[in-house]
Chain A
């Protein structure tokens, strides 16, 4: 089954404790992206990757890191999480081309206390 998986689905952590949210897709997609969703602010892009070893900033990259060492994986790293990073995070992937039909993961709800 074609899908984007994220782990963990739920995470409660404390300020400053490094964490990684994993994202994996099994569709051989070149493009992957991370978003955060907050009430009243909608869905905002954090980072995206056009292919292996190619990443770029979205609209809200501060406080986040990403890497794309393999085509299928695109982890999101929070080196020193802060409470303002409490949010619902989504990973998405798509094949390159004009359609940009993105497949979204189920989301990771992160709470930083």
Chain B
């Protein structure tokens, strides 16, 4: 099965600092999703990337998928306390009977100090 490795596992930054979270796959990614979760709550969809080299932005968050489609990064510019939470990357299996199967990374816990 596909495995996703996120790094770092946790991150503490001062408000206003930039940061990057990485997600690496053992296999080619056919769809890479970024979600944010506040502790103990449900996940909120951020972005989805499909094409090699693709980059998407939403407010101060930018996600990229590398050309080989095995690594994605999530970059937050000028972090704010509202960015704090757990960030998870998720990937869909490609084709066949397993294409509904989704795998998630273990998550990155982000703390932003005012």
Contact = CB atoms under 8 A, between A and B. Distances in A.
User: Do they bind each other?
Assistant: yes
A101 B31 CA distance: 11
A59 B103 contact: yes
Q: Which secondary structure characterizes the binding site on chain A?
A: strand
A107 B103 CA distance: 18
B106 A103 contact: no
A29 to B, nearest CB: 12
Given A42-B106, A106-B42, A48 B31 contact: no
Nearest to B9: A40
B82 interface: no
B40 interface: yes
B50 interface: yes
Interface in A2-53: 4, 31, 33, 35, 40-45, 48-50
The listed residue with most B CB atoms (<10 A of its CB), out of A42, A56, A104, is A42
Interface residues of A, number: 30
Contacts of A106: 41-42
B84 interface: no
Contact of A45 (B33, B35, B44, B103): B103
B11 interface: no
B12 interface: no
A88 interface: yes
A56 B50 CA distance: 24
B100 A56 contact: yes
Nearest to A35: B104
Contact of B42 (A33, A98, A105): A105
A68 to B, nearest CB: 12
B86 to A, nearest CB: 9
Interface of A: 4, 31, 33, 35, 40-45, 48-50, 56, 58-59, 88, 90, 92, 98-107, 109
Interface of B: 1, 31, 33, 35, 40-45, 48, 50, 88, 90, 92, 97-98, 100-107
